[in-house]
Amino acid sequence: EVQLVESGGGLVQPGRSLKLSCAASGFTFSNYGMHWIRQAPTKGLEWVASISPSGGSTYYRDSVKGRFTISRDNAKSTLYLQMDSLRSEDTATYYCATGAYFDYWGQGVMVTVSS
């Protein structure tokens, strides 16, 4: 059974950093692209970043480019999202997902950026 478990969320002040993790199990992690998607409270879904199976290619939405870094450790079957220079508009539930069509999602982790 595919499982994705996010961790690392919380309350952080504007301008500070946070690192999210997504522990994967139930599939061969190193064979699949991985993604981060977020959802602000009572809002729709917004794609944030993607990474290729090897980690050699990464993609970001413009609003996080230069502030967020997606990475992966295939030996640990874990996906990461390093979030720097956080802004209030980054407040959201962050989901990791796998597969070309976001086939499977984690339960999500809440990130609140507020002073």
Q: Which residues bind other proteins (CB under 8 A)?
A: 44-47, 50, 59, 61-62, 95, 99-108
Total residue count of the chain as it appears in this document:
115
Cβ–Cβ < 8 Å for 61, 46:
yes
Contact (CB, 8 A) for 87 and 112? no
Shortest approach of other proteins to residue 110 CB, angstroms?
12
Nearer to other proteins, 16 or 43 (CB): 43
Q: How far is the CB of 87 from other proteins (least distance, A)?
A: 18
DSSP label of 101: T
With respect to other proteins, which residue has the nearer C-beta, 58 or 77?
58
Q: How far is the CB of 78 from other proteins (least distance, A)?
A: 18
103 HSE (CA, 13 A, CB side): 10
